[in-house]
Every structure is written in structure tokens, then in C-alpha cells.
Amino acid sequence: MGQSGKTPPKVAVLMGGPSAEREVSLVSGRECAAALTGQGYEVVTLDADRDLCRRLGEISPDVVFNALHGRWGEDGCVQGLLEWLGLPYTHSGVLASALAIDKQRSKAAFMAAGLPVMHSQIHAKSDVMAGHVMAPPYVVKPNNEGSSVGIYLVPEDADGPPQLAPEMPSQVMVETFAPGRELTTAVMGASAGQPARALTVTDILTDGWYDYDAKYKPGGSRHVVPADIPKDIFDLCMDYALRAHAVLGCRGLSRTDFRWDESRGADGLILLETNTQPGMTPTSLGPEQAAAVGIDFAALCRWLVEDASCNR
């Protein structure tokens, strides 16, 4: 980038959008835009709205950096639009994005590949509130949101079923609770002839439930990088994350989350889900892992842009 006589590529950074994770996406977008500007790119930030197609046509970028989180930006919708427009973009494509954000369908893909997951079911919201649909403890969450949006933990001694917020969808996932430590591993996908690479393992420490605030508010969680865990568990996280990335067909950066019940050894390691649009904020896990293995934030953003393409 920035070589004399060459026009730097124009990068449109998509951010914000209409999802429940809008505010985090705005922070991700600003951080990525600043890093890419420092790398010599011509950068335009774009708060995604219903006029996105026209605005992209006016900007005419060489590459689209997708910093959107949640529905519409992470579920294959915007990826399909970018394919239609012929604009190279970062991260995963249409199919991988749609599959990963659908927790039940991605779980089926993981199970078929021999990856360990917890039992779960899809139920009507009204049924979940009317009575226990499975024996506690269990977790209730939207089937197609990320970042711990709308998660309810129903403990073993619960007096009754959870009363879900009005904004919860009409169909929700109910999943057997997986006890233990929160672990996560980011993967940089195959690029320029190089194989996909699992970065490291982070142990996420919180004072309570690892919810939306714990993920994104300063001080909400503490990250131990690399995780101080037995080598066999560390290696399994790296292996499972690579396999999950491949099973879903992910591209660019992904991150796979785990729960580990220490009392059960390797049998206690459970894959929760894979995120195709990991956060790119100062407290985000993916950039933190990249830095831990010698890839600074600007270099990570540059790699994502260089990896961008259509037909992903």
C-alpha cells in the first residue's frame, strides 16, 4: 500500500446497520477505518441502511470491508447484495454466513462432522414461557443473533419458566446448559496459498454470566491469552476451531466459542458456536489473539482487505 505512483484502493467500511448489535458495529467500523487509513487506503465509512445499494453505487469502492454485526450484516443478506453488485468483500460469503448465524443448522453441521455440541431444540416463545420445555438448567436464546443478545439462563432451582422480553423472536432456541470455563479461538482463513491458521486460545473470566455487557463494556471481562489450560484441551480448541471454520465454509476471520467443564477433561469441551463477523473493537477477542501471535490490528485489517473477493 501507499507505493509511489499507485492509487490506493478505495475501501468502503460497512458499519452500524439495523441489527441489535448496531452500537458495537459502529465502534468496530471506526476502529477498522482508522487502521486502514493509516495503512494508506482511501477509506469511506458507510452506516448501512435501506439505501445501501444506491450509496455503494455512488461511492464505487474497490473493496467493501464488512464491519457489520448481527442480522442483515452477518447472515448472508449483505453478502448477497455485494455479490450481486460484483464488489469484493471481507469475511465469509453468503452460505457460510447464513449457516453460521442459524445456531440450530450450524450445530447440525458440527454434529455431522463429529464436533461436540450440546442438545438443543427450537420452540415457540409462548411455549417456553408457559412451562419448562426441558429440564433445567438450560439456556434460551434467539436462534439467529450473536454476541449474547437476548440470552436467558434458567438455573436448576428455577421457580418457573423464563418470561422472555417482547423483542425476543417468536421461535427461540432452548439448549442444555454447558457448565465450565469460557474459551475461544480465532481462525484466519486460507489466503494466497497459505492454509487456514488457528491463532491461540483465550480463557474469558467474568464475575457472572458472559453476556452482552461482559463482552463489550470495559472491565466486563478479563482475557487470559494464551489460556492457562492443559495442552490437550488447548490443542483440541485449535483443532475444533479450524474444523468448524472449514465445515461452515468460512472465509477471512472467524471465531469459535467453547465451554469447558474441567471435571470431565477432554469430554467436557463443548463447541457453542462460530462467529463469522467477530468484533473488531478495543476489547474484541479476535484482534487480541492476532496481537498475541505477532499480528497487530492494522496488519489484521490489511490482511482482511487483501483477502477480499466475490464468490466466497
Indicate which residues carry an active-site annotation.
21, 147, 216, 255, 257, 273, 275, 279
- 37-69 per-residue burial string, b: 16 or more CB within 10 A, e: under 16: bebebebbbbbbeeebeeebeeeebbbbbbbbb
Q: In the block, which residue shows the cell 494464551?
A: 226
229: its cell numbers: 489450560
Amino acid residing at 98: A
Helix axes 94-101, 231-248, angle to 10 degrees: 120
What's 59-102 look like in SS3?
HCCCEEEECCCCCCCCCCHHHHHHHHHCCCECCCCHHHHHHHHC
Q: In the block, which residue shows the cell 472449514?
A: 246
Amino acid residing at 230: P
Please enumerate in sequence order all residues whose Cβ is within 8 A of that of 114, keeping only pairs 6 or more positions apart, or say none.
none
In three-state secondary structure terms, 238 is helix
Query: Residue 89 and residue 265: Cα distance in Å, rounded?
Result: 40
